[in-house]
Structure 1
Amino acid sequence: MEREGVQRQELATFAGGCFWCMVKPFEEWPGIIKVVSGYTGGTKENPTYEEVCSETTGHYEAVQITFDPDVFAYERLLQVYWQQIDPTDAGGQFYDRGSSYKTAIFYHNDEQRLAAEKSKNELAESGRFQKTIVTEILPAGPFYPAEEYHQDYHRKNSAHYNRYRMASGRDAFIERHWGK
């Protein structure tokens, strides 16, 4: 039984291309405790940004979200996630190409795996996209926070961040497929 006033915490981990663009859409919701940019899915311990970008470590750029499932359900996180990416692009995301920019949902337990599979199937059946949904659903492994200058990039370098989102085509894609 839950004690009154005790906040439950779970993790969700999503790769959606450039991790700079994946922080702000999640942190804006009640029940989101923190969003950390980092690397996951690879073979090297504590990789650097340069190593991940070299495409030799197998890591994805990702965000790890600490959330209270009693306030913001995992299924709602999945809805937000799908609306940030092009789930039909197997070669990266928008301007960023390569395996470190591919999309993936990293599940932390069987409930998350089942919810991710269900949401992927629902998106595929919705007809919203003409191409096949290629986003992978993978077991979560070690997550390594990115260097400090990558954390909260949208706040630290807002002008560059906003130019990047627009120039990359991400914002236009999201508006075309999901509206404002």
Structure 2
Amino acid sequence: MTGNSIALTGTARVRVLHRSDAGPLAEAYLRNREHLAPWEPLRSEDFFTAEAQAASIESKLGLFIAGSDVPWVLVDGSRIIGVLNLSGIVRGPFLSAHLGYWVDKDMTGRGIGSAALEFAVDAARSELGLHRLQAATLPHNAASQRILKRAGFEEIGLAAQYLRIAGSWQDHILFQRILC
């Protein structure tokens, strides 16, 4: 999980987030603002700036160093085309983490999301020694549910008012994948 990039599919690659990604990440979020709005928390105007992304990256890298998160970016050349992360990593008898991801609106339907999830599953199992990954989707996010199911995740339930998304507390379907 070093800074080296790993091929996913076509020209898409995955690598750990870098401090130098602030500008390209802000551009990716701005380019995908409408595409992501139904699936993410409300974002302030400041969120879409390189300065805000630099602060966010510092926080994420601190959690990475602490061993509780792994922040990756999906790239095509120098352009960020998505995000992939493991968060809330718990050790001890649980050995679990939450999985989150998104793919650029112009890159959907190319297998990038599926390849990214397979990469995350492999890294969680082989590099982090995790037993389980969990992911959550809004009930109407059929595309994300298909990707999770293709990656071997199984639906395990419904969490009422699970996350505040697009300005309101929304139910989420929970998925898990047992890794070993």
Common fold by TM > 0.5 = no
The TM-score, its normalising length taken from structure 2, stands at 0.35
The TM-score, its normalising length taken from structure 1, stands at 0.35
Higher strand fraction: Structure 1 or Structure 2? 2
